Chains A and B, each alone.
Chain A
């Protein structure tokens, strides 16, 4: 595709064109994932070649074939299908207190949980990487080249381990992360820039598996997170499970098989959706048939919704903000479509919540806007996001107590130091154990990392001065350093959470992703040919509409139309070679037309008329 512009007479050389950086926003969701891009004046979700905007966060692993992602994975058979694995990110087996439709196992070294599949054990990070790869390919196909960078959203409530796991997934997928952005912040950006909001916003984000609430202040393009809270294991999936269990009770059956339970969940979800508009809906499971009403639904889900409102109350308290101070309430996440959720939120905050942007898409759109800024496509009036850490960070002291060094809801980035001392005479090693959490005892908090400061000169107890520095960057990632002040002995660690992955694990996953690259390449090449064909047809259609009547006779025009129809038919198929041949053919046939348009364009330009339309070489 050669893009040539025609300079205005007298202007001299054509203006130099700077390539816009290809930067996208990715919402890596529990249930669905999506990718969006900001263009000159609008931001939109990137659909796949079939026009689908949401990619179900589902991956199918089978023996001897590459993983399948999305809708195709939902329908795939003969392997292991993994869904909602975001809830397992950065988690150990003992953290999982709910039922999952696949088998989990311990990694053996107390690390992140593994999922058993027919193709071997898979880490949740690998699943996330496979989803990211699919989205990145989708974006690259649409934008016509390799991505320069992505912004990936994470729940504000994600702790260190979960953020690190997300980062690792991006590395495995081979995408360059500009920033991890919290989902509510991304949503606020989408609404804030769209509606020119100012004041204090509460972002109520109820997704499939997580609930997040954030309180933000918007002022002159600065988005300041005041406080954040939520629950990383509460969401619409809980509604579905509650309904499924209710069906079991009504039908007096026990559903054990994973396949049946998935089918039951599907039924439950459909019933929930039916009640978004209707008052009641018929239900049937096996031999049992009955009816499900809104009253029953409310009984099942009110407890979950009330739990979200308690979290809202806590966040308001943390920020010392009264309900009356809030200027807008923004709804995010597919589960906020449930009317009961909207009702309760409306009552609690005493105002009509905003939901004009699709709650499934708003996060990705905001992330895309920020990616555009971070990649350097936008200057000057760019929005600035000031995020906070969701949980306190600290260090274990004598007696298993947590000494908090950075309290939760502190604005990041942040560097903070505190001094500790030795406990015994002549102590030369100090063991530092880093935790995250709100409780007093470290046993109730999450262990993040442990390292030793060695070589402390022997002194009497209490004489050494060990300065421990916590540094949290704008992504919320932690680095800890310890130094004995008198001697200058230093030790530092970039926190690799205990529930993260070892470096060699990540390296191994990157390696294995190279192996499946061959199959990916074939698929990718087909996509590229399809897109290329579409682009040629688009350009030709536009040219025909503009100059078809003046520059072509009826027969010539018909020939071009026929060639186009042939190509359009081929482009929906899977035969890459055929698509390529027909594209080439259309190119040849339209060359003459293109030349005539060029001539006409140059004539017009020489005649002193400005020509905005740019020629295309079809």
Chain B
């Protein structure tokens, strides 16, 4: 497992300084991009391509909170299999079910105003869940962090579907 945080010179953490991330990415790209090695040997060119590819992967991953969280757990949680078998609480699943039904209903009736209300609600839930994840990650309680991440994955999917509908 490649440590994307290390690849971009960032501390391994849930929250990160976006300006620092952007700057570090650009600085490393400027150094490694294949355009800098146009007249170099094939081996060096391939190395440049591989490394910039890694930088691109790392940047894409760290930019998005959900993927960053997933990556953080991949690095830190040594008992991933054990922890992911834990079940989500029924209340959360029920709420998900209801919100999905609501979304389908809104889609059929093309109710833009109600869709906007739902979007705001889900966004708020996301933020709350995110801060829970951050707290658990800071305490290094990977078992609870993974639970929070699973909820974030559910919410993220819902957000994407809402955005898709808005278009």
A positions within 8 Å CB-CB of B: 178-179, 219-222, 224, 317, 373-376, 384-386, 410-416, 471, 473-474
B33 at the interface (CB under 8 A from A): yes
Within 8 A of A (CB), among B23-74: 26, 29-30, 33-36, 38-39, 49-50, 52-53, 56-57, 59-60
Roughly how many angstroms separate A375 CA and B38 CA in the complex, as a whole number? 8
Is A413's CB under 8 angstroms from B39's CB? no
Of chain A, the residue at the smallest CB distance from B26 is A222
Roughly how many angstroms separate A411 CA and B54 CA in the complex, as a whole number? 11
B167 at the interface (CB under 8 A from A): yes
Is A384's CB under 8 angstroms from B35's CB? yes
Is A414's CB under 8 angstroms from B56's CB? yes
Is A413's CB under 8 angstroms from B34's CB? yes
Roughly how many angstroms separate A220 CA and B60 CA in the complex, as a whole number? 20
List chain B residues, Cβ under 8 A from A220: 26
Roughly how many angstroms separate A193 CA and B90 CA in the complex, as a whole number? 58
List chain A residues, Cβ under 8 A from B33: 384, 386, 474
Roughly how many angstroms separate A224 CA and B35 CA in the complex, as a whole number? 14
Is A376's CB under 8 angstroms from B59's CB? no
List chain A residues, Cβ under 8 A from B59: 411
If A384-B30, A386-B29 touch, whether A179 touches B35 (CB-CB below 8 Å) is: yes
A137 CB to nearest chain B CB (Å)? 24
Is B35's CB under 8 angstroms from A385's CB? yes
| Shortest 10 CB-CB contacts between residues of A and residues of B | A415-B53, A411-B56, A222-B26, A474-B34, A413-B49, A414-B53, A374-B38, A384-B30, A413-B53, A413-B52
Is A410's CB under 8 angstroms from B26's CB? no
Q: List 13 A-B contacts (CB under 8 A).
A: A373-B35, A374-B35, A384-B36, A385-B35, A386-B33, A411-B60, A413-B52, A413-B53, A414-B57, A415-B50, A415-B53, A416-B53, A474-B34
Roughly how many angstroms separate A385 CA and B59 CA in the complex, as a whole number? 16
Roughly how many angstroms separate A384 CA and B48 CA in the complex, as a whole number? 14
Is B38's CB under 8 angstroms from A178's CB? yes
Roughly how many angstroms separate A494 CA and B125 CA in the complex, as a whole number? 46
List chain A residues, Cβ under 8 A from B53: 413-416, 471
B34 CB to nearest chain A CB (Å)? 5
Is B29's CB under 8 angstroms from A376's CB? no
List chain A residues, Cβ under 8 A from B56: 410-414
If A384-B35, A415-B50, A474-B35 touch, whether A410 touches B30 (CB-CB below 8 Å) is: no
Is B39's CB under 8 angstroms from A474's CB? no
List chain A residues, Cβ under 8 A from B38: 178-179, 374-376
Roughly how many angstroms separate A473 CA and B56 CA in the complex, as a whole number? 12
Roughly how many angstroms separate A413 CA and B57 CA in the complex, as a whole number? 10
| Seed contacts A385-B35, A412-B56; 19 additional CB < 8 Å A-B pairs | A219-B26, A220-B26, A222-B26, A224-B26, A373-B35, A375-B38, A376-B39, A384-B35, A384-B36, A386-B33, A410-B56, A410-B60, A411-B60, A413-B34, A414-B56, A415-B49, A415-B50, A473-B49, A474-B35
A176 CB to nearest chain B CB (Å)? 11
Is A317's CB under 8 angstroms from B34's CB? no
Of chain B, the residue at the smallest CB distance from A415 is B53
Which of the residues B30, B49, B60 comes within 8 Å of A474, measured between beta carbons?
Answer: B49
If A178-B38, A373-B35 touch, whether A416 touches B29 (CB-CB below 8 Å) is: no
List chain A residues, Cβ under 8 A from B22: 219
List chain B residues, Cβ under 8 A from A219: 22, 26
Of the listed residues A222, A376, A416, A471, the one surrounded by the most CB atoms of chain B closer than 10 A to its CB is A222
Roughly how many angstroms separate A499 CA and B54 CA in the complex, as a whole number? 31
Roughly how many angstroms separate A219 CA and B30 CA in the complex, as a whole number? 12
List chain B residues, Cβ under 8 A from A224: 26
Of chain A, the residue at the smallest CB distance from B33 is A384
Roughly how many angstroms separate A224 CA and B55 CA in the complex, as a whole number? 14
List chain B residues, Cβ under 8 A from A413: 34, 49, 52-53, 56
List chain B residues, Cβ under 8 A from A473: 34, 49
Is B26's CB under 8 angstroms from A471's CB? no
List chain B residues, Cβ under 8 A from A222: 26, 29-30
Which of the residues B36, B39, B49, B60 comes within 8 Å of A471, measured between beta carbons?
Answer: B49
A268 CB to nearest chain B CB (Å)? 35
List chain B residues, Cβ under 8 A from A179: 35, 38
Proximity string of chain B (104-128) to chain A, C-beta cutoff 8 Å, 1 when within and 0 when not? 0000000000000000000000000
